[in-house]
Amino acid sequence: MFLKKIILISTLVFLLSQVFFAQNNEGVISGNFATTIQLYNEDTIINSAYPDHRLGANSFANLNFNKGNFSAGVRLESYLNPLEGYPQGFNGSGLGYRYANWNQDGLDVTVGNFYDQFGSGMILRIWESRDLGIDNAMDGLKVKYNPYKGIYVKGLIGKQRHTFNDGLNNGNGIVRGFDGEININELFDSTLLDSKLQVTIGGSFVSKFNDDNKTPDFILPKNVGAYGGRIAARYGKFRFFGEYIYKENDPYADPNFEDFNYIYKNGEGVLLNLGYSQKGFSVDLNAKHMDNMLWRSTNSTVQPTELMIGFMPALSTQHFYALAGTLYPYAPNFRGEIAFQADVLYKIPKKTKLGGKYGWDIGINYATAYAPERNFLNDDSTSRKSYETKLFNLSDSMFFQDINISVTKKINKKLKLKLQYLNFVFDDRTVEVTESKELIFADIAIADFTWKINEKHTLRFEAQNLWTKQDQGNWAYGLIEYTYSPHWFVALLDQYNYGNSIEEKRVHYVMASAGYIKGPHRFSVGYGRQRAGVFCVGGVCRLVPASNGLTFTITSSF
């Protein structure tokens, strides 16, 4: 607590004392600000969120100072009250982030809060997403050093941000980590710097100490370690990345699935990528094996996205269209999964018989994930449980499958068309993002049409339809958006659940919005209904409740 106060006071005093010097080019002050305010109306037809406080407001402002080799910053956050559907653990106003950093001659030192990632993030990913309500910032010390060309090392120690109550509150667990990386071509620059083959190798070790969960039924390890290595290579048009992580057994409570409740099983993760690209064509092949890789700085029961040390990347397309991206989005299974993805992009050349004047852009993607094949081993003399798995030995239990194809065509100087078709298989008995908890089969068709009337005026039309016999049945979506460059835009959309088996729920979700942009400032306002769904970023998701009301947003930077 004493160190926290010293860092906070020192940072604030230094920032305020340097504002005047910044105007004389002796330092630089920068920052950004955002606020989202939502006024809720009661709407019994869609069972909308209608809290007693009627109004929610999420806001934050960053202030950063940089002068030579020194930088420092703070972030003020405010949740009065937090928006409905935002994760628990956010309340009040205060400082949620503060840091000081110094770097010189290859040495980089940060005290206070910081974010970082080792490799792909499986073993450690410290990050934040304002929209998702995720912030597991480390609070402690991080040191990076470049002792010799091509050699990069870093180490860190600290506690993770857990909740926010008029200021940040850290979890009790302590995270310690070390990562090293060698760029072979930089290291041997006299002979390999300009080689077609570019190779980087790295390794990581991360451990945690926590004594939160003192259950009388189990002897839980207080120190748990994870380690692994990775390699990235590029040769001409080919590229490869591979990483393997091994995590020591880290039992945690899982009361909904007895077979995984306090299971004594080591975890392992494998991530592989092979890609090829040239002008007009690229292909990416990905494979992932993850088993028992839930990795937190506590083994007590917390919210799904809290105190996460490692990150489980999703091998699935991150869809941006409403029906595809929010009704049945896939997030990795914490207990384990084996996943594959193939992505192909091809451009039919312009000024050819098939491509026409402007050519065509075609994208094809296939992604799927299965549960690993597990052989459970029960210890008859105790209540411990474990199981055996083999790398990439998948069971016949499919979590999801996504097949999609998109075609983009510039028809002429003013018209552009994008068509997309998607086919989903989605097992909500394991993913659990809907109320139906069943195997869902869905098809989606999308048409996106942009008409640039002239340099200032643009119209965009969007039509989507989802067909399914499960869950809520068929959906239709329509949007029209008008942009008056460079400042104004207005939009009107409607989502209609016309296929719902319950006639009273066949309702329209109409939303009107408008916005004004000037330089770094953006103002937007929306009014109408928002359907319940799932909002995802990078395979991490949160549920969004149905709502009816007014939403106002401001963002700015300097």
Instruction: Please tell me the predicted confidence (pLDDT) of residue 259.
Output: 79
Residue 199 near residue 232, CB atoms below 8 Å: yes
**In the prediction, which pLDDT does 376 show?**
82
Q: In sequence order, what are the residues at sequence separation of 6 or more whose Cβ sits closer than 8 angstroms to the Cβ of residue 13? A: none
Q: How far apart are CA 176 and CA 142, in angstroms?
A: 10
Query: What's the rounded Cα separation, in Å, for the pair 131 and 138?
Result: 19
- Please state, in angstroms and rounded to a whole number, the distance separating the CA atoms of residues 295 and 224: 10
**Are 107 and 180 spatial neighbours (Cβ–Cβ below 8 Å)?**
no
Note whether 154 and 144 are within 8 A (CB). Answer: yes
The per-residue DSSP string of 97-129 comes to EEEEEEEETTEEEEEEEE-EEETTSSSEEE-EE
Query: In the structure encoding, which two tokens stand for residue 309, read together?
Result: 């040390």
Q: What share of the chain is helix, strand, coil (3-state, %, to 5)?
A: 10, 60, 35
pTM over 0.85: yes
Predicted confidence at residue 11, as pLDDT, reads 53
At 109, which amino acid appears?
V
**pLDDT tens, position by position, for the chain (558 residues)?**
444 544 555 555 555 555 445 445 578 999 999 999 999 999 999 999 999 999 999 999 999 999 999 999 999 999 999 999 888 889 999 999 999 999 999 999 999 999 999 999 999 999 998 888 889 999 999 999 999 999 999 999 999 999 999 999 999 999 999 999 999 999 998 788 788 899 999 999 999 999 887 788 888 899 999 999 999 999 999 999 999 999 999 888 887 777 788 888 899 999 999 999 999 999 999 999 999 999 999 988 888 889 999 998 888 888 889 999 888 888 888 889 999 999 999 999 988 888 888 899 999 999 999 999 988 876 655 555 678 889 999 998 999 999 999 999 999 999 999 999 999 999 888 777 777 778 999 999 999 999 999 999 999 999 999 999 998 999 999 999 999 999 999 999 999 999 999 988 899 999 999 999 999 999 999 999 999 887 776 667 778 889 999 999 999 999
CA 450 centroid distance within chain:
29
Tokens for 283? 């292909």
The structural architecture, per CATH, of the domain 70-313 is Beta Barrel (2.40)
d(C-alpha 375, C-alpha 385), whole Å = 11
pLDDT value at residue 97? 96
**From CA 304, how far away is CA 86, in angstroms rounded?**
12
For CATH 2.40.160, list the domain ranges present in the chain.
70-313, 318-538
pLDDT recorded at residue 263 = 86
How many angstroms separate the first and last alpha carbons of the chain? 32
Query: What is the per-residue pLDDT for 130?
Result: 86
Tracing tokens 């990078």 back to the chain, one arrives at 538
DSSP structural state of residue 502: S
Q: CB–CB of 459/443 below 8 Å?
A: no
| C-alpha 460 chain-centroid distance | 28
Burial class (CB in 10 A: 0-12, 13-18, 19+), 82: buried
Let me know the angle formed at the C-alpha of 280 by 278 and 283, rounded to the nearest 5 degrees. 60
**DSSP codes, 284-314:** EEEEEEEES---BS--S---TTTTB-S----
Q: Architecture of 318-538 per CATH?
A: Beta Barrel (2.40)
Note the helical H segments in 177-321. 184-187, 189-192
> What is the spatial distance between Cα 480 and Cα 383, in angstroms, rounded to a whole number?
59
CA 293, 295, 300, 305 dihedral sign is negative
Cα–Cα distances (Å) from 205 to 109, 118, 180, 225, in that order, read 19, 9, 9, 7
